[in-house]
Every structure is written in structure tokens, then in C-alpha cells.
Amino acid sequence: MNLPTFLKTPGLNKAAFARRIGVSSAMLYQFENGIRPIPTKYAAAIEVESGGQVTRQEMFPDDWESIWPELARRRRKAASPPATAPQPQ
């Protein structure tokens, strides 16, 4: 889910969300409406405070792997099939 969609969640207090991620309501409005791009320094807080509904991968689809290589490693590890013991013949 992207940030503008998340911010339309019924009952969401945008001012409180802005405080929790460390920005003003005005700055959050700018992120929401594409006036200002989301700085990478707020991405992890947005991911955490959105309960994982807005991910860093979704916010930065073209370069998240170079910004957060640990996420790329974690994703590759999760995607690889589990090691299995050889089956007896």
C-alpha cells in the first residue's frame, strides 16, 4: 500500500501519525500529495508506524535495495527454498 492510500484509513489521526514519524502535519500533507518526495530518513518510521502496511520497498521501488541492503538479503533468504535432507532411496 502506498502512503496516500494508508493515510485515507478511516479513523487515522494524521496529526498523531505525523508526530510519531517525526514530521509536521504540513510535511506529511506534502508527502501525501506528492508535493515533496518522502526523504529516506523517514521511511523506516513510516513502515513501523503504519504497522508494515507501507513498506520501504513500496516507497522506494527503484532503489530500496541499494539504500537498505539488509532488506534485500532478508528478502532473498526468505525466498530461497529451505534446505532439505536427502531422501533415502
- CA 76 to each of CA 24, 33, 35, 69, 73: distance values in angstroms, whole numbers, following the listed order: 36, 33, 34, 11, 5
Taking 70 as the threshold, does the pLDDT of residue 29 lie above it? yes
79 belongs to a structural domain: no
Q: Is residue 23 part of a domain?
A: yes
The tally of domains found in the chain comes to 1
Asked if residue 84 belongs to a domain, the reply is: no
Give CA 33 to chain center in angstroms.
Answer: 17
- For residue 54, the enclosing domain spans 3-73
How do residues 58-75 score in pLDDT, each as one tens digit? 999 999 999 899 887 776
Could you tell me which of 43, 49, 56, 57 has the C-alpha nearest to residue 9? 49
> Per the domain annotation, does 59 fall within a domain?
yes
On whether residue 11 sits in a domain, the answer given is: yes
The CATH number assigned to the domain holding 33 equals 1.10.260
Question: pLDDT digit string (tens) for 34-59?
Answer: 999 999 999 999 999 999 999 999 99
Average pLDDT, the chain: 90
